[in-house]
């Protein structure tokens, strides 16, 4: 008896020794050859993306919109449910590494009466516990666990990437809405000026001071300006609907502030080191988790070509008489070795397919890294130039305003014709719109830079 248990013990040690190996190539991050810096300025470990989004967007109305979006946006709800799903799937693959225990209670009665006078009854009672365990000889189950873990972590990164995108999307849409309000105000102000111009042109025409052409031209400019109002109102309504949709609401009016006369951007631009961009951008980390999962799938396909060992143990009670039930124990031990012998090359083809899928994910990951650096570099370029653009448009707006004031004075005094006044008014109107757009673009540039550097999801 002692020798028998020694043999069992040695067999278990051998099984455990085999189950400690995991055949296949473990994941290693591809060589990326990152650039030395994100821009031409001196690099440090600090980054504007380390700030919380509410520290960057100080407008309390915008903050409330973002908070509601992060709580009620339907894509965020879907992403959260996806994380829960993959967390449960991860738990299943982890549980497969361990023995599974199940129980069975069984009772039956069989009666026969051949010929009508030969009644016989047969009863049986059974209770047993069943322990089954697939021994992970080559790491097959561990590769499955690694894959489900990578899928789970990838879903978390996808949720973070979505949050980062939503913060930026709501902020940009809000600033665009405020800018549309300002543009509509400029158009209505210009429309009033056009009406006054028509009145003056009519008076001068009826007084014989100018020709009818100037009066007709004034009416044309009034009509042209009036056509801009409904188009802007349409754009404003659509932008409000877009923001309401992001926030998980039905179409409704969106509260907002007015466009500021000036937007202060940070004097310095800390963007961090290139390596930190990979750690901070959740979309890049999601791509890497997909790559890890693809590598685990290769290991899974590889180990599927080796034998699989399953152990089963039964222990229970079985008797034909219930009174003898507790006196009738039995046990049963079995082991099965399943090995692939011939499948027309299916397993090898599966391995090749998974290797090809892994190769695709390598390129996808490298593309994600390239995209991250392109986004960051473009955002840095925009940020560095937007101040110059704003200053030039501000000077243009001031010069155009002075020019239109002078033109109107000269027109009243009969020095120039009305067409010259209209040219000056058109130039001033375009300069006003350009300045309004420059203020909007300063805000949006900061939004895009913050997102490109991986900020907004903490």
The pLDDT > 90 percentage for the chain reads 57
Residue indicated by tokens 């028509």: 198
pLDDT at 40: 63
Backbone angles phi, psi at 336, to 5 degrees: -130, 135
Model confidence at 41, pLDDT cuts 50, 70, 90, reads low
Q: Is the pLDDT of residue 380 over 80?
A: yes
Q: Long-range contact list for 321-329, CB < 8 A, 24+ apart?
A: 321/123, 321/125, 322/123, 322/125, 325/125, 325/127
Percent of the chain with pLDDT over 70: 94
Mean pLDDT of the chain: 88
pLDDT of residue 5 exceeding 50: no
How does residue 19 score in pLDDT terms, banded at 50, 70 and 90?
low
Across 394-402, average pLDDT: 95
What is the average per-residue pLDDT within 295-311? 93
- Does the structure show a pLDDT above 60 at 159? yes
Instruction: Say which residue, 370 or 330, is predicted with more confidence.
Output: 370
pLDDT of residue 8: 47
pLDDT at 365 (0 to 100): 96
Phi-psi group of 248: left, alpha or beta (phi > 0 → left; psi -120 to 50 → alpha; rest → beta): left
pTM: 0.85
* Range from 188-192, 259-263, 279-283, 365-369 carrying the lowest mean pLDDT: 259-263
DSSP-assigned beta bridge partners for residue 104: 128
> How far, in Å, CA of 181 to CA of 189, rounded?
12
Q: pLDDT class for 16, splitting at 50, 70, 90?
A: low
d(CA 131, CA 187): 80
pLDDT value for 306: 92
């Amino acid at each position: 008896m002692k020798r028998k248990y020694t043999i069992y013990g040695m067999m278990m040690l051998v099984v455990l020794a085999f189950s400690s190996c995991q055949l296949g190539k473990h994941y290693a991050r591809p060589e990326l050859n990152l650039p030395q810096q994100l821009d031409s300025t001196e690099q440090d470990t600090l980054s504007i993306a380390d700030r919380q989004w509410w520290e960057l967007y100080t407008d309390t109305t915008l903050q409330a919109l973002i908070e509601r979006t992060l709580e009620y946006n339907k894509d965020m709800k879907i992403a959260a449910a996806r994380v829960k799903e993959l967390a449960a799937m991860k738990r299943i693959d982890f549980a497969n590494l361990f023995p599974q225990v199940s129980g069975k209670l069984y009772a039956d009665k069989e009666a026969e009466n051949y010929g009508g006078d030969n009644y016989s009854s047969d009863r049986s009672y059974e209770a047993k516990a069943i322990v089954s365990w697939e021994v992970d000889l080559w790491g097959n189950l561990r590769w499955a666990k690694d894959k489900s873990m990578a899928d789970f972590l990838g879903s978390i990164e996808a949720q973070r990437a979505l949050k980062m995108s939503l913060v930026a999307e709501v902020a940009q849409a809000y600033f665009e809405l405020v800018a549309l309000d300002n543009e509509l105000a400029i158009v209505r102000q210009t429309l009033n000026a056009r009406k006054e111009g028509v009145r003056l042109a009519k008076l001068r025409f009826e007084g014989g001071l100018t020709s009818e052409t100037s009066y007709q031209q004034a009416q044309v400019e009034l009509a042209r300006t009036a056509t801009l109002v409904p188009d802007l109102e349409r754009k404003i309504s659509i932008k409000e609907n877009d923001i309401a949709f992001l926030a998980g609401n039905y179409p409704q009016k969106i509260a907002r502030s007015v466009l500021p006369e000036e937007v202060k951007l940070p004097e310095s631009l800390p963007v961090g080191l290139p390596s930190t961009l990979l750690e901070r951008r959740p979309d890049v980390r999601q791509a890497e988790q997909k790559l890890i999962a693809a590598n685990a799938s290769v290991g899974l396909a590889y180990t599927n070509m080796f034998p699989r060992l399953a152990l089963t143990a039964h222990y229970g009670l079985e008797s034909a008489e219930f009174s003898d039930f507790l006196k009738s124990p039995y046990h049963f031990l079995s082991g099965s070795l399943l090995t692939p012998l011939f499948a027309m090359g299916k397993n090898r083809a599966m391995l090749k397919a998974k290797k090809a899928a892994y190769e695709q994910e390598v390129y996808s990951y490298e593309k994600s890294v390239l995209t991250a650096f392109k986004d960051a570099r473009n955002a840095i370029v925009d940020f560095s130039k937007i101040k110059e653009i704003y200053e030039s448009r501000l000077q243009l707006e001031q010069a155009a305003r002075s020019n239109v004031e002078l033109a109107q004075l000269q027109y009243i005094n009969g020095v120039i014709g009305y067409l010259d006044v209209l040219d000056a008014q058109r130039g001033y109107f375009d300069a006003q719109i350009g300045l309004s757009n420059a203020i909007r673009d300063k805000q949006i540039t900061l939004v895009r830079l913050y997102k490109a550097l991986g900020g907004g999801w903490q």
